[in-house]
Chains A and B, each alone.
Chain A
Amino acid sequence: MSEEYRRTFRLPDGGRGGDLEEEMAFHIEAMVEALLVEGWRVEDARAEALRRFGDPAAVRAACRRERRWGMGVLGRLWGMVWQDAWYAVRQLVRRPLSSGLALLTLVVGVGATAVVFSVVHATVLKPLPFQDPERLVLVEQTSPQGRAYSMSEPNFVDFRGRQRTFTEMAGLGFIKPVLTGEGEAVRRRACG
């Protein structure tokens, strides 16, 4: 696993970790300088300073505990959430290409889903603009070969008069009426 990925997936260290690292580094440097003034040899001073400083991991852990303790449960939770969110933002900004790709995927995904659902809604879910749409039936006249063809008006009147299945029957026809009035006459597709 590369260093980059290890850093990406590293558990958060409680924030301000970088500050503490720099603080400790400064402290050790100052100790080294004091030892040099005391007459230590350059090659020994650093080792001695590190020895006197003790385990930086212990200092780190103690500071982390210190920060976590005082905040209370909600504060600690909020701190962790905020820290994770900020970390996410930093990672996104650091890799604009993969962030852009992820964003594009989301945009396409959400868009496609919205389209599919609006089609399903319009065709399947949304009730027809009639009363009791589930009782609506389309009756067609077909030839013996099974081809649908239009019904003549007398046939329709007969069907309507003799049937006992439906409470109501209406004819449906497509016409192209010519509309006149103001301006030029126009031909329109209509259904009635």
Chain B
Amino acid sequence: MSDLDLVRGTLDILVLKSLAGGARHGYAVARWIKRVSDDALLVEEGALYPALHRLERRGWVGSEWGLSENNRRAKFYRLTSRGREALARESASWDRYVDAVGKVLSSDAEAG
């Protein structure tokens, strides 16, 4: 359950961003997004793992098994160079989108 429903396609960019600082396993990705959004965005597992697999399939993230902080086997995802490019591209287009929607919403509807 999340306070804000993620706009379709937004999850992918959030997941990419979460991996920008280094490899993480799925649980850490979800935890990181929750924390940095001040608990506003809760990534559901039912969406997270399909997203990770989708990004891996596109070649934007790679994966390998490693040991978690608690010494348990976990699958770590990391950003590939193509993923890094995609993140930059998608971030820029997200900024333009937010900017445009913001302009519309803050405009004077009476004018024009």
Q: Which residues of A contact B (CB under 8 A)?
A: 19-20, 22-24, 26-27, 29-31, 33-34, 53-55, 58-59, 62-63, 65-67, 70-71
Contact = CB atoms under 8 A, between A and B. Distances in A.
B94 interface: no
Contact of A65 (B25, B47, B50): B50
Interface stretch (B67-75, B82-90, B100-108): B67-75
Nearest to B42: A52
Interface residues of B, number: 20
Nearest to A30: B27
Given A24-B45, A27-B27, A59 B73 contact: no
Contacts of B62: none
B73 A70 contact: no
B12 to A, nearest CB: 11
Q: Which 5 A-B pairs have the closest CB atoms?
A: A62-B50, A30-B27, A70-B57, A66-B50, A66-B53
B54 A58 contact: no
Contacts of A20: 49
Interface of B: 25-27, 31, 44-47, 49-50, 53-54, 57-58, 68, 70, 72-75
Contact of A58 (B27, B31, B46, B72): B46
Contact of B50 (A19, A59, A71): A59
B68 A63 contact: no
A186 to B, nearest CB: 78
Given A66-B57, A67-B53, A70-B54, A26 B74 contact: yes
Contacts of A23: 25-26, 49, 74-75
A54 B44 contact: yes
B27 A53 contact: no
